[in-house]
Amino acid sequence: MNRTPVVVGNWKMHGSRAANASLISGVLSGVAPRGQRSAEVVVCPPFVYLADLATMLEQAGVGLGAQDVCTEAGQGAFTGEVSAPMLRDVGCTHVIIGHSERRAYYAETDEGVGRKTLAALSAALTPIICVGELLEERDAGLTYEVVGRQLEAVLRALEADPIGLSGLNRCIVAYEPVWAIGTGRTATPEQAQDVHAFIRGLIQSRDARIGGSVRVLYGGSVKPGNARELFGMPDVDGGLIGGASLKAEDFVAIVAATQ
């Protein structure tokens, strides 16, 4: 199965107009021109900067993602929320859903992640669905149980909706062990591969073709020095990059590591 790798930069709550301009120009001058890249490239700045960057990124063939989206797809009385059609309207192509920081600090539930996935797909956005276990869960041998539960919630939401399981063809899954995020402690390529194979297997058990083609990214302290080894694993199709996406040179090197 030939899957095009994807490298996604999750800027989290970082940036300013001035900093973004120099970061983006560094990224665009460092990555190969569109059509000649070894990977799809997506950047996810904070909401308020999305519209600023949309035209430039579109011209360069780089995807633009938000870091979250409202569960409600329409307009309405949801103060502070941003809907999927709004993200689409300002030029987004992707959206990160269920990042562990949203789950931990903003009480995001498995069920909410399922609803957000549907909202994103309905607006023709590519959801980047994050799953991953805490350190205590890994230590207790619960990794597959936790990741399986998180993923099942999304599969169930799709199956219960007219979109159906085939909506997964338009999704990207990101495995991010929480203990590896921002800690400098990366999963070993073997640890990542094990969970990626589990994720793919779970999807394959529902639909072999979709399971074979869905892209599963690894996230958690990916750096230029470890990216190639991680991306070399058979079920690792690229990365979701936090800290290293804030340095153009590092992000570009990580993109190059997909070759």
Catalogue the active-site residues. Answer: 99, 176
DSSP string, 103-141: HHHS---HHHHHHHHHHHHHTT-EEEEEE---HHHHHTT
Site string for ligand PGA, 194-223 (x = CB under 6 A): -------------------------xxxx-
Tell me how far apart the alpha carbons of residues 238 and 4 are, in angstroms, rounded to a whole number. Answer: 9
Least distance to ligand PGA, CB of residue 227, Å: 11
Could you tell me which stretch among 16-24, 114-122, 198-206, 238-246 binds ligand PGA (CB under 6 A)?
238-246
Helices (H), the chain: 17-30, 50-60, 84-89, 100-105, 110-122, 135-139, 143-159, 189-206, 208-213, 224-231, 248-256
Site for ligand PGA in 47-106 (CB under 6 A): none
Site string for ligand PGA, 5-34 (x = CB under 6 A): -----x------------------------
- Closest by alpha carbon to 170, among 205, 129, 109, 113? 129
Among 64, 97, 118, 241, binds ligand PGA (CB under 6 A): 241
| Interaction of residue 182 with ligand PGA, rule CB under 6 A | yes
Residue with tokens 């073709």: 209
Return d(Cα 198, Cα 1) in angstroms, integer. Answer: 17
Residue 42 sits in the site that holds ligand PGA (CB under 6 A): no
**Residue among 240, 248, 254, 255 that touches ligand PGA (CB under 6 A):** 240
Contact set with ligand PGA (CB under 6 A): 10, 176, 181-182, 219-222, 240-244
